[in-house]
Amino acid sequence: MLSQYTLSAVALLASLAQPVIAQVSTKCNPMNTTCPADPAFGMDYTFNFNATPSTDAWETTVRPVTYTADNGAEFTISKQGDSPTIRTKFYFFFGRTEIHMRAATGKGIVSSMMWLSDTLDEVDWEFLGVKNDALSNFFGKGVEDFKNGATHAVSGSIHDDFHNYTTVWTKDQLEWWVDGSQVRVLKATDANNTAAYPQTPMRLSLGIWAGGDPRMAAGTREWAGGDTDYAAGPYTMYVKSAQVTDYSSGKEYSFGDKTGSWESIKITEGQLYRQGGPARGT
């Protein structure tokens, strides 16, 4: 399974919509240099997207995204180059996200949820517009390994109905859940003996993109379900809410060295596992 955020082909979309490139990069990689501390979330909160979310918590990295009382956040591809995306301004250090969303239909259209860290650790949910499956994926330190993905059946339509996609993350394992049922577990020790395991503070992104764009590589277009017909659109992904739980507390997260390990993370005015332990996916 491919991921928008780690494909080298994403540079092709950047020629159509320059902001796309911001989704796959980091302003400062702590494994290469000393970087500023990241703002910590340090709490649990449910963001309902029936209105524009606070700009203190979220930023729109690629426009347009609209917000409605009935369907929440609407991410729409109307023309070539569109890839509307929002991203948290805060970071969480181990935690849980619960996303209630409805994927977009359409050949070559990919709806997605991504966690990304400054070291390019990554955790994904992706949904193709031509298949009724949920796709899970992960990457460590930006290393592209396309054997990390998995496909999960979903009861009911992912395109017509809202579903609950939850991800639970600790230093020991990652869990993916669909509608309250666990569909995948990744042990940290099974990710190249923890070297490929995502383990540094993350931000949450929600967005949609055209993997079937004609300027994408043939393999990407094939994976996404074929060439995107923009004239047959628009194509819209809907997100009603996003619950974010930071398992740590504090004001800031920073890196104590350049190893990219969870043990190197320094927490300002807080602690790891603030509530005594992680919650489950249900």
| Active site residues per annotation | 122, 126
SS3 string, 37-66, reads: CEEECCCEEEEECCCCCCCCCEEEEECCEE
Rounded distance between C-alpha atoms, residue 249 and residue 267, angstroms: 8
Rounded distance between C-alpha atoms, residue 65 and residue 147, angstroms: 32
Which is nearest to 207 in space by CA: 75, 15, 52, 19? 75
Q: What are phi and psi of 43, to 5 degrees?
A: -160, -175
Both tokens of residue 69?
């009382």
Q: What are phi and psi of 264, to 5 degrees?
A: -85, -10
Cα 229 to its chain centre, rounded Å, is 25
Beta strands, E only, 63-157: 65-68, 72-77, 85-88, 95-102, 109-117, 122-128, 133-139, 150-153
Rounded distance between C-alpha atoms, residue 208 and residue 62, angstroms: 10
Rounded distance between C-alpha atoms, residue 263 and residue 99, angstroms: 28
Say if CB 173 and CB 89 are below 8 A apart: no
Both tokens of residue 255?
């890196």
